[in-house]
Structure 1
Amino acid sequence: MQLDLNLLAALDALLEEGSVAGAAARLHVTAPAMSRSLGRIRRTTGDQILVRSGRTMTPTPYAIAVREQVHELLHQVQSVLAPSRELDLATLDRTFTLRWHDSLVALSGPALLAAVREQAPGVRLRFVAESSVDTPELRRGEVDLEANANRPSAPDIRAENVGESRLVVVVRRGHPLTRVKAVTAQRYADAEHITVSRRGNLGNALDDALARLGLTRRVVATAPTEAAALEFARGSDLLVSVPEVTTRSAVADHGLAVLPLPLELPSAQVYLSWHQRYDTDQAHVWLRGLARTALAMCKVP
């Protein structure tokens, strides 16, 4: 049987998008053409691949089982048919989209941009905000690099630990806790808190650590970013617990004080993530190297 490698790309797009229209847009073909490809895939595999479920389409068990294998096969084919060429940074004309945690953008973004502009002036960086829900932009190729505290679990997403930072407590200067000899777990729990959560969660691992000591705290608000939470703390008696790297650019000039966290918790990790399709993309490899160097500023002993 003669196989058409175009069907592999079509199958990959169909499994990624979960719809004929989405797959057609991704591969820049018409919807009828993608429908015909789906028909050929069904005849070749003897499986429906996608079945109608209300207004959406649902992958079959077979489709789910081969999804990652299809990703890998397509990546291998692309590597063979599009061999890498020597990278010319002076003429490189490309836009990279980076979805980084806001504190990482503030801390490491300027160093990354400066290095990019020096080495490849034709490259543009798009820093975009994190979403309040988990999104598949890395898999769809809409985001090139992510940097945050979350290690992705999908097998086709690469992740590298590039930094870490201990948690500290930030309060306004003159806060009552700045006048005590030691910030104990009890004093920490007795204070009022603001948490950082892009999903608006009132609780986190700090509450679990307090519970193990038989303590609870009162969280009166959440903020979507650490920068916003620090502003709340600056104008009130609220405590905010954040990675120490967050405080480097914010505390000195904003009337804030940093106190040790009186709880035993592991350091916050920083992960750099990308889709495996870019493993051998020379421009992407170059950018990852610069990002790795910039994010190394997050390492706190």
Structure 2
Amino acid sequence: MPSGTSGASVGSQPPAPAIDANLAIALDALLAEQSVTRGAARLRTSPAAMSRTLGRLRRILQDPLLVRAGQTMVPTPRAQALRDEAAAVVHRLGALLTPGAGVDPAALRGTFTLQAADLVGAALAPGLLRLAHQEAPGVSLRFRAEELEAGPALRDGRIDLEVGSIDHVDPETRVEELVTLRMAAAVRPGHPLTEGVLTPDRLAAAEHVVVSRRGRFSGPLDTALAERNLTRRVAVVLPSHMAAMTLAARSDVVCLIPTALPGAAPSPLSDPATLLGLRILDIPLPLPPLAFGMAWHPRQAADGGHHWLRDAVRRTVHAPVSAPSPAPGSPPS
């Protein structure tokens, strides 16, 4: 309030009276049953409480509403005029306070924005687009690179869903783990490392490409090598996995990529090397697992459209992956 003014102004309107929705519900029951006893039974209250409520309604509406006629009660003309309106109000109140029903995906219109690394986007986009075509043809998908701070971007609606390695911890953000992966080495078919046993020494001696949006040269592999007094040569740092995998497919650099844990069924997220026909080599060192998940803001939790989006991501991540055809002239894995 600006300084020099008072809280009340001349000619201001009195505050609106508080509205008790329970009175509308009671009025509907009384007018439908035309009986205090039956109205009380309908609302699971006592006849005495319903009689007091009828008294309140009579004072508020300034009308008897129900009057005695022999052994029964009959509605006044005002009550008859209010009966349908009271029933409609109660119906609308019930709809307002009922949990939202599941949305029909075919009726959805608009764009969902997902933030994900390029490798995640490339892995998920085909399956998500296929589900959108089949179930929600009015939906468009927008993938953004990992360019925004995810917590605030989810909070203010610039992105609807973050998918990937969730490395921020915001108290209000909902996070669901989708799949746990491991890191493996990806090389072109015919790479020298595909011959013989891959040892930590041979892995360290090879040239590597590192993926880092922040330009970092080191990661968990360097920590594991250092425990064996080994260091690797990082020839280049690139900001995207797709660029690094493309380089690995056309040169002798080694690229680290996520892949399925031993014994786990492959999924689009765990099988990115098939995109470029790369060979996957197990890293002979203990590396920490990599959890992939999705994060969203709680305000989206009950939204029917967002619920479809999250379910579509789950189904895409866990969709079966057929084995790729081997590249011409490449040896078996």
Q: CA deviation at 1:82?
A: 9.6
Q: How does 1:136-215 map to 2 (within 5 A)?
A: 136-179=152-195, 181-215=196-230
1:92 aligns with 2:117: no
Answer whether contact 2:246 2:276 (CA < 8 A) is retained.
Answer: no
Q: CA deviation at 1:298?
A: 9.2
Q: How does 1:1-301 map to 2 (within 5 A)?
A: 84-131=100-147, 136-179=152-195, 181-244=196-259, 245-252=270-277, 256-297=278-319
**Corresponding residue for 1:71?**
none
Secondary structure of the structure 1 residue equivalent to 2:106: coil
Secondary structure of the structure 2 residue equivalent to 1:249: helix
Separation in structure 1 between the aligned mates of residue 319 and residue 212 of structure 2, nearest angstrom: 23
Answer whether contact 1:161 1:272 (CA < 8 A) is retained.
Answer: yes
Cα separation, partners in 2 of 1:92 and 1:222, compared to 1, 3 Å: same
TM-score, normalization: structure 1?
A: 0.66
**Structure having the higher Rg:** 2
Secondary structure of the structure 2 residue equivalent to 1:112: helix
State the number of aligned residues.
219
Q: Which has the higher contact order (CA 8 A, sep 6+)?
A: 1
TM-score, normalization: structure 2?
A: 0.60
Separation in structure 1 between the aligned mates of residue 166 and residue 227 of structure 2, nearest angstrom: 24
User: Identity of aligned pairs, percent?
Assistant: 38
Q: CA deviation at 1:284?
A: 0.8
Cα separation, partners in 2 of 1:134 and 1:143, compared to 1, 3 Å: closer
**Corresponding residue for 2:68?**
none
Q: CA deviation at 1:158?
A: 0.7
Structure 2 unaligned blocks of 5 or more:
4-95, 260-269, 322-333
Once the two structures are superposed, residues 88-135 of structure 1 have per-residue CA deviations (whole angstroms, 9 ceiling, x without a partner) of 322221221111221222222211111122112111111112217666
Answer whether contact 2:163 2:292 (CA < 8 A) is retained.
Answer: yes
Structure 1 unaligned blocks of 5 or more:
1-35, 40-79
1:287 maps to a residue whose letter is L
